[in-house]
Structure 1
Amino acid sequence: MSETISPNTTIAQYFVISKIGEGGMGEVYRARDTKLGRDVAIKVLPAAFSADAERLRRFEQEAQATGALNHPNILVIFHIGTHDGAPYIVSELLEGETLRERMASAALPQRKAIDYVLQIAHGLAAAHAKGIVHRDLKPENLFITNDGRVKILDFGLAKLTGAADGNLSQTEVPTRRVDTDPGLVMGTMGYMSPEQLKGRPADHRSDIFAFGAILYEMLSGKRAFRGESMAETMSAILREDPPDLSETNKTVSPSLERVIHHCLEKNPEERFHSARDLAFAIENLSGAATSSGQTMTMAGVATATEGRKIAGMSRLFGNARLGWIVAALFLLALVTALGLALLYVRQPSPEAQVARFSINLPPGTTTVANTAPVLALSPDGRRLVFGASDAAGKNQLWLRPLDSFATQPLSGTDGAAFPFWSPDGRHIAFFVDNKLKKLDVGSGVIETICQAGSGQGGDWNRQGVILFSEGDGTGLSRVNAAGGKPEGVTEMDAAHEERVHNFPSFLPDGKHYLFHIRGGDNPGIYVGSLDARDRKLLIPLSADGANATRAVWSPQGYILYALNRTTLLARAFDPNRLELRGEPFRVADNVIVSQAGNARFAVSANGVLAFIQGGAPDIVQLTWHDRNDKRLGVIGPAAPWLTFRLSPDERFAALIRDEPNRLSSLWLLDLLQGATTRFITEGNNNEPVWSPDGKQLAFSSARNSPPTLFLKPLTGNVPEERLLQSRFQSFPVSWSPDGKSLIYGMFSPLTRGDIWLLPLSGERKPQPLVQTKSNERFGRVSPDGNWLVYQSDESGSNEIYVTQFPQPARSWR
């Protein structure tokens, strides 16, 4: 194909109409898609590229990946191919101008610049999430359509560009390639990061550097790094900071200038860690979060730097006249960062400041509902502590001052759970190894307060009393914060089969408290007192645990709690009369809540609210790997799968799927055909366990009651059979090798977790195998049917024990 194409030429299904532009990477034509009847753009690359098979392969691979992004802020690619020896790209046809043309060497209004760069940040975040780095971000590659949409162009094309014409001036060079000993330098001078200039690998943080240079230029009308020669420009990028924006544009917000400087850090480790983090920071400045449904829109809330008043706050929170400034902690599935926005709860103020932060989680941290970090805000609302696991699976507490970009691990907190602060903010209490401990934040010294079980929440009042839950099967206990022997505060109603009292939250007087009761006839949110055993039901919850939630007192006179494992609600409450007032109203949607009801939010003593907000469920693709972890292929459709169990003959897999209603469904995957079918349609289903012959599935299901045992054969139109009538939570863990008995775990108020056996013939009378006051779980029978192995915390730590089967006697640790 010649370098210039004549009108009326046909390339594949595209009829060329006219030439509309050209550049260092080739010529662009308007064409008509004769099959779909739409106008498109065709970019024809120099035919010389076809001589380099590796370059052509890389180009096609990256173009296909970019086309798969399907993001509104990235140019849509429809087709790639070659014609007469030259590769070409077919994309959507855009009407408008490049950012370079829009700026025309002049500064843009700050509001318009923020609008543009927020769209760019969203586009970059989508590309980076797919592992695609632009490497040549510049105003020429940013297109603004006539309706104000920003499109990122030419992803990956910089990798294909040859050496630039040496006669061009420094400011006119579109793309340069410089061969160096360490590696290959690619990008556009003036927007290249220091690591690109040094020939080091360019990752997503190089795009963030270029983003900062572009934003600087949009606000100042001048390049961030400029010199009379290429050498001077390179030196400026490597060693100098750009001139202060205040020198050219005194109206620029200092907060926005800080964002720019953070993008332009010389060390990539010190920049924003992701484009998503960057988007959160810019949304903070814009006063609205509009990121692809992943953040909360703040109608009528303005930044303090704009000096505007709060408008529409009552519309945002219904009729409740709250003075909160909205904020939220957003946790997206399969990402490595948390975005934090804070909600200050105070009396209405003429000015408000919306603050959003991004908190980088350790690599490998999981974000699904049951393992999402548990949050605790310091009383002054300035520090956030949370538990997270790193890539090695090590779980510990992490501390993030909200006025800092640094998140630091807290030494000595390995395995810690359910952290909470002392009223003076000097200590963090937490549960670990069946003990309640406290960490002196200043000195780092850790002390044991008391024995405390696995723990399910605690609170610390100003009188030095800690109220806490030891975990399943227990009521609430109290202990002096200085240490001592715990005393029972609430009693489990064993006659009505209550399962646990947990998640205490003190009311302002330090004597009354909110807590959650799970199981029994009347599960719900209750109010109790340190001075009496009486309790009062405030908010009834469903018996099946689908609405289980913790409730927290907010100092502005509201109780905050979650509903349906998704919606964060607030309801006015009189702490003196211990009465609810008015109707609940919604604070946020899609808040993460575990199946046990541990809603991921926290409120400080001065009214700062943080919460974790989940995006769409994690989409998981099941993949075969060999013993050497070599990927062999995929099986079945990608879906929000949570867990799976292979059948003994490896013909089927039982899959648990996360449904939109936050319940779990049970599916079957045919491993030969790759097809899935829904196996159970009712209830909240978990823990599938195959029979030894692979013909039946036992599972737990919650259906207007705590989860209990069900059984269903794989073949025949036979409905599932309920195996137990107990209202204690029960779930299968294994079968006896002969398939005649089912081993299951059950939680009871008196003995907590126990291991039971259910014969599947005759009278089917359940028999306890291991039942002590300790917590026993995960019973498995040996292949010869003579031994039972299980986990117990009898020694104070979770350890493995072995006993005889089916008649347990002595146990060996």
Structure 2
Amino acid sequence: MLGQTLGRFTILDELGRGGMGVVYKAHDTRLDRDVALKLLPPDRVADPERRRRFEQEAKAASALQHPNIVTIYDITREGDRDVIVMEYVPGSTLDRLIGRKGLRLGEALGYSVQIADGLSKAHAAGIVHRDLKPSNVMVSGDGTVKILDFGLAKLFEREPMDALAPTVTARQALDGFTDDGHIVGTAAYMSPEQAEGKKVDSRSDIFSFGSVLYEMVTGRRAFQRDTSTRTLSAIVAEEPEPAGRLVADLPPELERVLERCLRKDPQRRWQSVPDLRVVLQDLKEDSDSGKLRAVAPAAPRRSRWRRWVAAVAGFAVLAAALVWAISHRPRSAAGITVTRMTFDSNMTGFPTISQDGRLLAYASDRAQPGNLDIWIQQVAGGQPLRLTNHPAFDVSPSFSPDGSRIAFRSERDGGGIYVVDALGGDARRISDRGHFPLFSPDGSLICYLDIPASLDSALSRIYLVAAQGGPPQAFHPEFSVLGAALLSHPVWSPDGKSLLFLGRRGRDPSTADWWIIPLDGGPPVRVGAVAALSLRLGSVSGFPRVWTNDFVYYASGTTVEGVNLLRVPFDRARPAITGKPEPLTAGAGMKYNAALALDGRLVFPHMTWTLNIWSAAIQSDRGKATGELEPITRDETVKFSPRISRNGSMLAYAAFSGLDTRDTEIRIRNLTSGRETALPPFESTMNPVPVFSADGSVLAYRQVTGGRSTYYIRTPGSATDRVLCEDCGVYAFFTDPAFALVQYGPQELVRQNVSTGARTTVLHVDGASILDAQPSWDDRWVTYLLGLPSGNVAISVAPLRDRPAPIGDRILVREDDHILLAPRWSPNGEWLYYLAASDGFMCVWGQRLDAVSRKPSGAPVGILHLHGSRTMSFPLGQWPLEVASGRLIFTLGEPKSNIYMARLDRW
């Protein structure tokens, strides 16, 4: 075809051919640029359903804009040929660059980091490559890596194989990939689950990535046999030859990375590419700086004694590798060794350790998924003991100094602090409120934090209660604890004479800092940690976890980038920070709390969340759920603030899809067609908070720059987005999208003309804060959520007029000392739906309203109870619940966590 034309394309050269078609270099005469054309095999697109599946995934892949992914420009048909138009990348495929001895170490690490970057972007968008191999990786002349053929695997999807078929043919092995019972792909780079025809996810790509990296550093394929069938068998049942045997100077750190990528069990591989990428980047930097060194080869073995020594040394190396393999070991400036202590598939977290370092306690749902109870086990090993068994959550255990008792928070009977013997028995309630209990070093007191239902950190207070029980006493109530809703809490000084916490005086932001307050009545001392540690307030930043004679250990990060543990040298006598912070853990995931034994054993959790948007069918005008939970999104991005148009056709949500908070974008999905588009990432905004008009045609979104919140509005046909308001919050559009419901300050709602900016105050409250608001579908009423001075929350309703509704016209729907969130109208205005934690779990409730007066009619009704392992992810979005015609929309988080222990050399 060289020199021929295909539509607007002139064929210049053949770049390659294979099972997925022929690739040509061509010139696009319309756009005057060189492109790569992939002509698809006609037999692959003959089946309409196969073509539909392929086009759906290829369209999703075309939305991937990343420097390490070849961009798909178009999917078109020229004459009788189906064509994919792609970015043309001059260079060589990786398989042509890998010689018989492999690549130089620096090259291999550099390419691997770029491949990981591209895979991270794709996986965050829910796209699994399924056929990652060296021939699908381009390297340009300047060393830039580009991954090819994202989205093409759907074209090669086979019908499910006959369940009685005894074997997989070599032809299937060469051509196919896995997708729930059928197999397609390139045999040598398949994952075990792919080779067995099982369902695959992003961890399958991690195995294939490991195979590619193995080949880059050794020059040999990890699994290569004389036939495809034997290759598949080796992938499923055999281990590759250790790369260190093939490359004498291979650093052991890289060999461990390969070993973990190539594990048969997906649960024991790297669980996400971003985590793997961090380790590879560290190895690349150490390699470039000369810090990464190989282990010197052993001397020749000449005697039985030397053979015995070599065997012991080999066992030691294997044991070290095993310790690393069973841990999710983060890099550490302290050079600590990390050991994984639990191996649960759901949620095991909130660890604490006895002062003698012998006993470990934690909260786990291993006995019943979604039901957290307190467990205890010996650090040296042995069977864990379940201490509590209650339908409500039991969390946050704390050992008494002698290890004989455990204090914990329970949601039972309205929630409170309980104490149970470490050997078992009945739990005893010592406080009707409180979170995060901690025994004092002498065991006489328990401090805890009281968090208001409004989640207003300015109303969070520290309390002290006698360990044997008694009336709790507020401790310096003029101070509040920052980040209480994100697991911040006070910690004891080593001598038990003071408490340290991140807080402020009342609501004064200028006083936000670490504070130390003595129990003997001495004056509070401001530490100056915000400036010394450059703490980023408003996130998980600088939460103290442990205070020793020489250090303060604290947690910092974000719930999406990762929360990690650090420590900073601390002079308790002055008191003052005396050095630079030292990271103890790194990478994604939440290491949100820690406990330290007197012998230097530090325990902490590693928790990850999968946050997706879900739907439940509902007769919204009748207050009745009619269907099961169904996911709308299924990928690994963090999603929050979903908004849906009233007719249920358009969905907008914020999505985090990168390694830092600047990689946040708004995604807009047509729920009828399934088509999804994305607004570019908002570099200055973690949560852009999208807001749809009633018909889905107008979108408002937020950007935060320099601490100032600005809402922009996007309308059909407009070339640019314009400012809607500044220092404001936009809750909703009215039925006419020319008007929006906007909040200025904590106590006032206005109806604002989005074109002129003219405002009409529709609600003003005194002595409380408006936390959320929504107009009814007929624009005659507004429901709003109030944070009360007591810390309680209330849902109210008021008529919408051209002036604020008098107090006498406002209707209280519900007040509670437990969390209430997101009141939402039914289409006919006769039901309010909202989230409530009154039964210890965040569930969807409904309240019927009188059709005329809008006063509550009858008791609240449970609409959707979520008592399992999935939990409502309310902290990540202002609006976690939406009501449209026929459906509820919300985000659900599926947490997974296990416990790890580090041995510190100094503490």
TM exceeds 0.5? Answer: yes
Pairwise CA distance, 1:529: 1.5
User: CA separation in 2, counterparts of 1:463 and 1:76?
Assistant: 63
Match for residue 119 of structure 1?
114
Match for residue 314 of structure 2?
none
Pairwise CA distance, 1:414: 6.7
Match for residue 576 of structure 1?
573
Specify which of 3, 6, 18 is matched with residue 2 of structure 2: 6
Matched, 1:97 2:92: yes
User: CA separation in 1, counterparts of 2:118 and 2:373?
Assistant: 34
Specify which of 495, 502, 505 is matched with residue 491 of structure 2: 505
Match for residue 430 of structure 2?
450
CA contact (8 A) 2:772 2:786 kept: yes
Secondary structure of the equivalent of 2:184? strand
1:731-770 paired onto structure 2 within 5 Å = 731=771, 745-748=786-789
Matched, 1:435 2:433: no
Pairwise CA distance, 1:59: 4.8
Matched, 1:477 2:522: no
Runs (5+) with no aligned partner, structure 2: 159-169, 297-326, 453-458, 532-536, 610-636, 652-669, 680-686, 861-907
Matched, 1:461 2:458: no
Question: Per the alignment, do residues 695 and 57 of structure 1 end up closer, same or farther by CA in structure 2, a change over 3 Å counting?
Answer: closer
TM superposition score normalised by structure 1 = 0.66
User: CA separation in 2, counterparts of 1:408 and 1:39?
Assistant: 66
User: CA separation in 2, counterparts of 1:777 and 1:691?
Assistant: 24
Question: Per the alignment, do residues 398 and 47 of structure 1 end up closer, same or farther by CA in structure 2, a change over 3 Å counting?
Answer: farther
Question: Per the alignment, do residues 742 and 280 of structure 1 end up closer, same or farther by CA in structure 2, a change over 3 Å counting?
Answer: closer
Pairwise CA distance, 1:503: 2.8
User: CA separation in 1, counterparts of 2:81 and 2:779?
Assistant: 67
Match for residue 228 of structure 1?
226
User: CA separation in 2, counterparts of 1:89 and 1:788?
Assistant: 49
CA contact (8 A) 2:449 2:462 kept: yes
Question: Per the alignment, do residues 411 and 228 of structure 1 end up closer, same or farther by CA in structure 2, a change over 3 Å counting?
Answer: farther
Letter of the 2:497 counterpart: K
Match for residue 294 of structure 1?
none
User: CA separation in 1, counterparts of 2:14 and 2:227?
Assistant: 34
User: CA separation in 1, counterparts of 2:99 and 2:425?
Assistant: 59
CA contact (8 A) 1:342 1:609 kept: no
Question: Per the alignment, do residues 761 and 701 of structure 1 end up closer, same or farther by CA in structure 2, a change over 3 Å counting?
Answer: closer
User: CA separation in 2, counterparts of 1:400 and 1:69?
Assistant: 46
Matched, 1:519 2:500: no
User: CA separation in 2, counterparts of 1:398 and 1:353?
Assistant: 26
User: CA separation in 1, counterparts of 2:789 and 2:178?
Assistant: 69
User: CA separation in 1, counterparts of 2:295 and 2:74?
Assistant: 45
Letter of the 1:237 counterpart: I
Deviations 1:129-181 (A, max 9, x none): 33333333222222322222222223354565699xxxxxxxx9997247999
Pairwise CA distance, 1:378: 5.8
User: CA separation in 1, counterparts of 2:253 and 2:263?
Assistant: 16
CA contact (8 A) 1:302 1:353 kept: no
CA contact (8 A) 1:787 1:804 kept: yes
Letter of the 1:506 counterpart: W
Deviations 1:361-417 (A, max 9, x none): 989x9xxxxxxx99777699999979999999878899999999xx99997587658
User: CA separation in 1, counterparts of 2:640 and 2:128?
Assistant: 23
CA contact (8 A) 2:36 2:87 kept: yes
CA RMSD of aligned residues (A): 6.6
Specify which of 126, 135, 146 is matched with residue 140 of structure 1: 135
Pairwise CA distance, 1:187: 1.7
Question: Per the alignment, do residues 691 and 214 of structure 1 end up closer, same or farther by CA in structure 2, a change over 3 Å counting?
Answer: closer
Pairwise CA distance, 1:576: 1.5
CA contact (8 A) 2:15 2:25 kept: yes
User: CA separation in 2, counterparts of 1:773 and 1:134?
Assistant: 48
Letter of the 1:519 counterpart: G
Secondary structure of the equivalent of 1:87? strand
CA contact (8 A) 1:755 1:776 kept: no
Pairwise CA distance, 1:435: 0.8
Pairwise CA distance, 1:101: 1.9
Match for residue 176 of structure 1?
174
Letter of the 1:478 counterpart: L
Question: Per the alignment, do residues 361 and 162 of structure 1 end up closer, same or farther by CA in structure 2, a change over 3 Å counting?
Answer: closer
User: CA separation in 2, counterparts of 1:636 and 1:132?
Assistant: 13
Secondary structure of the equivalent of 1:532? coil
1:689-700 paired onto structure 2 within 5 Å = none
Matched, 1:73 2:68: yes
Pairwise CA distance, 1:587: 8.3
Specify which of 12, 25, 32 is matched with residue 30 of structure 1: 25
User: CA separation in 1, counterparts of 2:32 and 2:582?
Assistant: 46
CA contact (8 A) 2:157 2:182 kept: no
1:111-510 paired onto structure 2 within 5 Å = 111-157=106-152, 160=155, 176-177=174-175, 184-283=182-281, 285-286=283-284, 342=330, 352=335, 412=389, 416=393, 419=396, 421-422=398-399, 429-430=408-409, 432=411, 433-437=414-418, 447-455=427-435, 457-464=436-443, 465-472=445-452, 473=459, 475-481=461-467, 483-493=468-478, 503-510=489-496
CA contact (8 A) 1:524 1:538 kept: no
Pairwise CA distance, 1:560: 5.7
User: CA separation in 1, counterparts of 2:113 and 2:425?
Assistant: 44
User: CA separation in 1, counterparts of 2:153 and 2:832?
Assistant: 62
CA contact (8 A) 2:176 2:186 kept: no
Deviations 1:580-599 (A, max 9, x none): 679x98989x999xxxxxx9
CA contact (8 A) 2:275 2:587 kept: no
1:769-808 paired onto structure 2 within 5 Å = none
User: CA separation in 2, counterparts of 1:581 and 1:11?
Assistant: 70
Secondary structure of the equivalent of 1:114? helix
Q: Name the stretch that deviates more: 271-280 or 562-571.
A: 562-571
Match for residue 328 of structure 1?
none
CA contact (8 A) 1:733 1:745 kept: no
Higher relative contact order (CA 8 A, sep 6+): 2
CA contact (8 A) 1:341 1:355 kept: yes
Secondary structure of the equivalent of 1:120? helix
CA contact (8 A) 1:182 1:198 kept: no
User: CA separation in 2, counterparts of 1:286 and 1:449?
Assistant: 53
Secondary structure of the equivalent of 1:223? coil
Matched, 1:682 2:677: no
Deviations 1:158-211 (A, max 9, x none): 565699xxxxxxxx9997247999954322232233343334444434333322
Letter of the 1:229 counterpart: T
Identity over the aligned pairs, expressed in percent? 24
Deviations 1:716-764 (A, max 9, x none): 7544659768676454668999979987634336x75578999976986
Runs (5+) with no aligned partner, structure 1: 164-171, 289-297, 308-338, 347-351, 366-372, 593-598
Letter of the 2:574 counterpart: R
Pairwise CA distance, 1:69: 1.5
User: CA separation in 2, counterparts of 1:196 and 1:795?
Assistant: 43
CA contact (8 A) 2:797 2:813 kept: no
Pairwise CA distance, 1:470: 1.8
CA contact (8 A) 1:110 1:219 kept: yes
Letter of the 1:249 counterpart: V
Question: Per the alignment, do residues 654 and 376 of structure 1 end up closer, same or farther by CA in structure 2, a change over 3 Å counting?
Answer: farther
Match for residue 520 of structure 2?
531
Pairwise CA distance, 1:791: 11
